[in-house]
Structure 1
């Protein structure tokens, strides 16, 4: 009998749904292994094989498809455990990640803290260049200045680099030139170019999404490469698909290149499943709630459809790639509460 496997890698548990071609279903759960999530993934698959008294190789020969949702990137942002990331941006705009849209969520609360950027200010370096809104060059890219800034980031041993220049959606020549030099000087660095990831207007949306992609990219890339290698070692010949934030799926290479597509990969499974289960009970509208060990996710279903957005946020940080409208906060079942000196 042929099988399909659904996998959800969470911060605390990794869950599996095994479905047979006869409609049968089985659920498995193992503890997650945050240092290398592929260990828990393979452990769960091994349990499936063990329950049938066959080797994992024999079992995987009968698996046609693995659909994989993950909160690896989600939790990296919620807990600020992404990689050391640098940013090259147009001179005069290095603080856009902190300025955001100039809007404070609680405008009358003078003590309300600003959202913490995923790139520290000393790693956000301005480069002399400028394009106008139509893509015409106002200030040519200063190659010497660019090289100096990349060398500075090299000394800081950044693991990822985000490149985002003003108006590059209209003309990406400066970003591409910067990327070429960066790849030469930082050959082992994970590089995200905003015009390749999100070639659209609205500078803050683009720079925030680009920074997030670079921040979590190496983590997801390492995980998927390890998982693919282990599956290949066990002779898996089926299809591996990664769930995206919009409720669809992408290939592993696309997920590794555009890791920000998976920022709500795991949470997106809640609304998709909610549509089905609410429909079984005869409801067209519902609210889905998904509490994991690390995050708490909620979404609204209207007329059997989860809403989508390109102005989403995760941990108060903007991501402008298409995603289901899921609200995520870092307060899961494993979160630790405390009482401060004021009794709150």
Structure 2
């Protein structure tokens, strides 16, 4: 108010120069009475982090895959403020920034390495392992002897901190959220679980006494997040399989087409009048044709950042 009044008085007495002097003197009066002008940037009202749901399966990954993961631990957002300006009567501005610390489970079996990371579809971690945002990343490969994460240990205490053994997971410490609208973004990870794998690796120790040394040609990655029979049915649509559940060993092999005629033995003929039927005999038949042969295949293209694709027969 004093700035406007003294500006008008100074202009009436001394013209433009008097008006400038009056404005300067008036701004000093206003600052002394009302304080210097101050503005605040946008600020969050809620600092709690949204957690993931219970009961979600933790899949097993083979080869090279792009996966989402599950948040298994998180702290509240940490708020930081910075005030700029405010000198010589100028307006000061307070800006707020937020960081988050959290852990994401990737695979329920050990992995070999971690590749790129995408946040809201944008690259967060490159092929060289550098984060595009401020923060620290630690990877736990999921072996049975891995130690507790130091950040989780310091936050939860030794009595309540699990080591998450046999579980591959990553920990983000103080990840800057300014590029993600001050929230934890939707993350996807490039998991490098194996150099190569076959069907025996997929069965693993889920089935005892199984013979399943079947190469999976064309498979660069595979995710198992459901019952084993569903996984075998999915593979069977691409690489037809034969399964023999013998008395001792489960044998899984590639289905082979018949390449020559099958020679049948002489038919068993009943010789006696009182005989009900033949004492011995057996029959063979060809495999029935598939009722609905596969016509299209959905997959993830590793050459295009694992974008989904479709191939038609």
**Shorter chain as normaliser: what TM range?**
under 0.3
TM-score when normalising by structure 2: 0.25
Name which one, 1 or 2, has greater alpha-carbon Rg: 2
Higher strand fraction: Structure 1 or Structure 2? Answer: 2
TM-score when normalising by structure 1: 0.23
Higher helix fraction: Structure 1 or Structure 2? Answer: 1
Greater RCO (CA < 8 Å, at least 6 residues apart): 1
